[in-house]
Amino acid sequence: MNRRSFMAGFLSIFLFAAIPGCPQAREQEPRPAPVRPAPIRTRPAPGRQTPVRPAPVRPAPTERVPGVSSVSPKTLMTRVNRIRTAVRRNNWAQANRETNTLGADLTRIRGDQQDTGITEMAALNTEYARLQASVKARNRVNTMANLERMDTIIRDMM
Q: What is the pTM of this model?
A: 0.53
Contacts of 156 (CB under 8 A, 6+ apart): 120
Question: According to DSSP H, which parts of the chain are helical?
Answer: 2-18, 73-88, 92-112, 118-136, 140-157
Per-residue tens of pLDDT for the chain, all 158 residues:
677 777 777 767 766 666 655 555 556 667 777 787 777 766 666 666 666 677 777 766 666 666 556 777 888 889 999 999 999 999 999 999 999 988 888 887 754 445 567 778 888 889 999 999 999 999 999 999 999 999 888 888 77
